[in-house]
C-alpha cells in the first residue's frame, strides 16, 4: 500500500515536495476544478509509482508530477513539472502485455 503525506509539507528551505496532479475532463458540466492534487510526498519514487498506478486506470486526460523546491539564489520556492502521463504515451510493453492477456481469455 502506498503511503502519502496527508498534511501540507512545511515551507522549509530543505523540503522538496513531489505532488501528483490529475486533470479532469469537465465534459459533463460538473463544477469540479480541472486540476486536482491527489498526493504529495518527499520521495520521487513514490510519486512516480502513484502516477503510474493512476495512468494504468486510464480515467484521466493528463497526470503530472510536479517538484517544488527552494531556490537559494532567488530566495523563493520554485515549481517544475517533472513528468507527464497522457493516455497516448503507454509503452509498447504495456500494450503488448494487455493484448496478450486479451488473447489468453
pLDDT tens, residue by residue, 36-94:
899 999 999 999 999 999 988 888 889 999 999 988 888 889 999 999 988 765 556 66
pTM for the whole thing? Answer: 0.65
- How distant, in Å, are the alpha carbons of 1, 7, 84 from that of 79? 27, 19, 14
Q: Where are the domains of the chain?
A: 17-104
Amino acid at each position: 500500500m502506498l503511503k502519502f503525506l496527508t498534511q501540507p509539507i512545511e515551507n522549509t528551505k530543505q523540503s522538496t515536495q513531489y505532488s501528483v496532479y490529475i486533470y479532469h475532463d469537465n465534459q459533463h458540466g460538473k463544477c469540479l476544478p480541472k486540476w486536482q492534487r491527489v498526493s504529495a510526498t518527499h520521495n520521487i519514487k513514490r510519486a512516480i509509482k502513484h502516477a503510474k498506478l493512476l495512468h494504468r486506470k486510464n480515467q484521466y486526460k493528463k497526470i503530472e508530477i510536479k517538484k517544488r523546491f527552494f531556490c537559494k539564489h532567488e530566495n523563493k520556492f520554485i515549481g517544475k513539472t517533472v513528468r507527464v502521463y497522457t493516455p497516448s504515451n503507454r509503452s509498447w510493453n504495456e500494450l503488448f502485455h494487455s493484448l496478450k492477456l486479451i488473447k489468453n481469455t
